[in-house]
Structure 1
């Protein structure tokens, strides 16, 4: 259900983390890709929010054949799977969840934290995690913004491939700068979240019952 169509808690559907099955005996119709969420929650106990996005700014980075790591669901299909790129069961959900992993797992296969906050999905979009809702939403919005910035930068470089001062080279963040920026985002979402709440409150299409 789209966010603007939600009117109360009765519109929400609860699912078991263990297998993605609905908690209620006769639940409303839900999304088949709930296994994205359930398998990530199962594997990473510190993850409390998962965003799955079909952002048109991000999708190109999963299909252009660059060196960017991408989850390719085709490698995990079995004979009876529908090849529609959707995460339709726990097996495919587990395959995606494993892409967030680092090498050190607990004895039960779970991991306290994921090594990667986001994973691109070929031809499908991206899945993003966070320790709380605000963090995951912040990451999702700014990942889209960053994808738009990256695309614009690549277009400018292509338009001026041999400019002065090594104009054909995009200057990305250094590893040290990336680490410092990542630390900043641990608290930077607070101001953005307060603004986003005000923006939602100002739009009549959203119900706040």
Structure 2
């Protein structure tokens, strides 16, 4: 009786027992295993807003960086910043995902002029520039950028500096082009100009540099994630 029952159990379990314990992940396996958001998705140590999704194809592991915890297969294309062959990512290991940049620029055009932090920074730079002008001092390079709006119809422009280097842009006080997301117009009263043309992108900005992955303000990041979730529902 015992032998008969054991034989029956072995017969039912045969397919599972014959399947190799270890096998290389394929993209199909990945789509199946990550079809639902995982509670164990890791984030980047230097930027907790970025989720790291491991992908394994042809025996090689890469990582998709995303603003969403859901699997890349279940997320809108623009949710993926790009792919990297190593963590933490560097400029040499990272490949950018163009749809992400397109979406980010859309968010900046729509909301940068309304960001409380950007507005405060622009006004502070404008005020410092005005004070220097009154005292007869020489403005810094960043202040000349804000003040020198000859022919722009506004007071100048204010650079939006990537949060990964904000407050630490070197002795000159001028950020590297790869760390400038773009600029917003500033009027003669130090107020950020909204509407069409209020934001000008910086094409040299990079998603990943030697200083890490780009860091947005809390306001802009919230708008970006909100837009991604809306896209995910469609």
- The structure whose RCO (Cα within 8 Å, separation 6+) is larger is 1
> Fold match, TM over 0.5?
no
TM-score tier after normalising by the smaller chain length: under 0.3
TM-score (norm 1): 0.23
